[in-house]
Amino acid sequence: MSNILIRHEVLELLQLVNSDGVSHCHPDQILSQLQTICNHNPDRIRIEEIGHSRDRHPLYALLIGDTNNKPIIAATGNCHAEEAIGTTTILRLAEAIASQPDFQPILENYSFAFIPQANPDGTLKNWEWLKLDRPTYRDYLRHYYRDNRSEDVEHGIPTPETAQECRPEPEAIAKFYRRFPKISYYVTLHSANIFPGAMFLVSEKPPTAISETLGAVTHQQSLSLYEDNDNGMDGFEFIEPGFYGIPRFEVMREKMLAGGDPERIKKFKLNSFQLVESECQCPMSLVSELPYFQVMGLDDLTPLADYIPVACDREVLKRKLVYFEEKSAKQRMNLLSCLSASNFSSPLMEFYQEKTKWLLGNIAGDRQDCHKVRGCPTLIKDLLEVRIRPLMLEAEIAAMMLRLYSEFGENSECIQSAISYYEETFNNACDRIDKITTIKTLSLADQVKIQAGIILSGLLVS
């Protein structure tokens, strides 16, 4: 069968994935949902408990088909705490594979190995906004939680020299995938959260069949492909519209080292896609980066020189963005220091202090990275980003303070006054953002369709 016919078949199979009424999966519900899927086809599907989270929530794997003798398509969801749509995607896709007759011939030639929810602790810490039917970016900024770099599940895979320092979740992920001598195609499902479009990070230039399929699936859900070629800033090397090279952990670590503190950088470990690539002979891996919230206008790559005869070098505005990040990180540290000096106590204090140290430590690498766009013309999107980024950071700081005061548990007049101040600061920053641009919530149904299409694209790997 030609790739063209196979590509159409993948799109047809994708239509069988039911995305109606999707919602995020609470960790307490995942086992019952996996059992329901297994009951559709118990001879070909099995559930395994592969470990537990740091807070003792069980971690499950779902295996479909003959993983001993058929090529394996593997996927992991929810490695990052606030990026939970991968769990729902895997559950909905697995349900279709288990119950739809048109998928049964696929299992004669392929098998599937899924870890649906790799970070249940993180999902719970984000539940305040994940539980909403249609959260806004304000809900996200106000309540989201993301693990610190040193606690990252995706970038926490143990190696012989770091095994004793790892969280149990990446240990379980590594042990599960290492049992397979070969995986044909691997996907780790992520979200870019507040972003202008879809971005796919790949281990190599994707076959035309895959890039065209994912482009078609993305556009069917009315989402644009992100295609800013900024010469590899942040380690993302541009390949073609929508597709960038996966940043290797060695490159990311080297950039972090520019900020000093090598002991902290050592905690940043191997990632799941490099694990599967090196130890499971995986020829192609892919990281999805889909926005929960699409920033309209940040996909405008028109050079400013088209409107203004003499436009500033793009490096100038990139350095401004780094300056905003540094100023924000220093402000966070000052606020946290003031709280500590006043004997303020909250379970989140240590978390935010560590996070802020990481932010400050990355500044030098970010500033160094700006030279990559030296001589490039400024884009319309750069002007928009320079306008809204300081406001986003202002809202994030206010949200941090609101969480800290909420965790403090004291109801004094002083605390209530501080809460009122930061509520007003948060809303004012968001109001000003809304006057500049529109931030659209991408439906969970659309995200599920795109991410399911990413996994099914493994059928196109020769």
Closest of 172, 204, 179 to residue 280, by C-alpha: 179
- Give me the count of residues in the chain: 462
pLDDT bucket at 6, cuts 50 / 70 / 90: confident
Exposure on the CB side of residue 274, measured as CA atoms within 13 A: 16
Query: Are residues 207 and 70 part of one domain?
Result: yes
Query: Are residues 159 and 99 part of one domain?
Result: yes
For the chain, give the percent of residues with pLDDT over 70: 93
b/e per residue, 357-376, with b = 16+ CB within 10 A?
bbbbbbbbbbbebbeebeeb
Residue 365 is predicted with a pLDDT of: 85
Query: Are residues 270 and 315 part of one domain?
Result: no
Token duo for residue 36: 């329901």
b/e per residue, 90-109, with b = 16+ CB within 10 A?
bbbbbbbbbbbeebeebbee
Q: Which residue in the block uniquely carries the two structure tokens 């992991």?
A: 76
- The helix/strand/coil state of 136 is coil
b/e per residue, 243-254, with b = 16+ CB within 10 A?
bbbbbbbeebbe
Number of domains in the chain: 2
Query: Are residues 369 and 272 part of one domain?
Result: no
- What span, in angstroms and rounded, lies between the C-alpha atoms of 137 and 139? 5
Alpha helices of 155-271 — where are they, by DSSP H? 168-178, 208-220, 249-257, 262-265
3-state helix, strand, coil in the chain (%, to 5): 55, 15, 30
- What number is the average pLDDT over the span 404-425? 89
pLDDT bucket at 310, cuts 50 / 70 / 90: low
Query: Are residues 316 and 230 part of one domain?
Result: no
- The whole domain housing 400 covers 304-437
Least confident of 172-181, 193-202, 343-352, 413-422: 343-352
For the chain, give the percent of residues with pLDDT over 90: 76
Query: Are residues 181 and 226 part of one domain?
Result: yes
Query: Are residues 275 and 329 part of one domain?
Result: no
Query: Are residues 31 and 15 part of one domain?
Result: yes
- What number is the average pLDDT over the span 449-454? 97
Query: Are residues 197 and 337 part of one domain?
Result: no
pLDDT in tens, 247-263: 777 777 776 666 666 66
Higher-confidence residue of 204 and 53: namely: 53
CATH of the domain at 81: 3.40.630.10
pLDDT bucket at 448, cuts 50 / 70 / 90: very high
Kindly list the distances between the CA atom of residue 366 and the CA atoms of 140, 198, 235, 262, in Å, as whole numbers in the listed order. 25, 23, 11, 16
Query: Are residues 44 and 141 part of one domain?
Result: yes
- The helix/strand/coil state of 402 is helix
Query: Is the distance from CB of 312 to CB of 306 less than 8 angstroms?
Result: no
Query: Are residues 249 and 123 part of one domain?
Result: yes
pLDDT bucket at 173, cuts 50 / 70 / 90: very high
Least confident of 155-164, 273-282, 427-436: 155-164
Query: Are residues 413 and 275 part of one domain?
Result: no
Q: Is the pLDDT score of 2 beyond 50?
A: no
Angle CA 183–184–188, to nearest 5: 75
pTM over 0.85: yes
Query: Is the distance from CB of 324 to CB of 393 less than 8 angstroms?
Result: yes
Residue 109 is predicted with a pLDDT of: 93
Token duo for residue 228: 């800013």
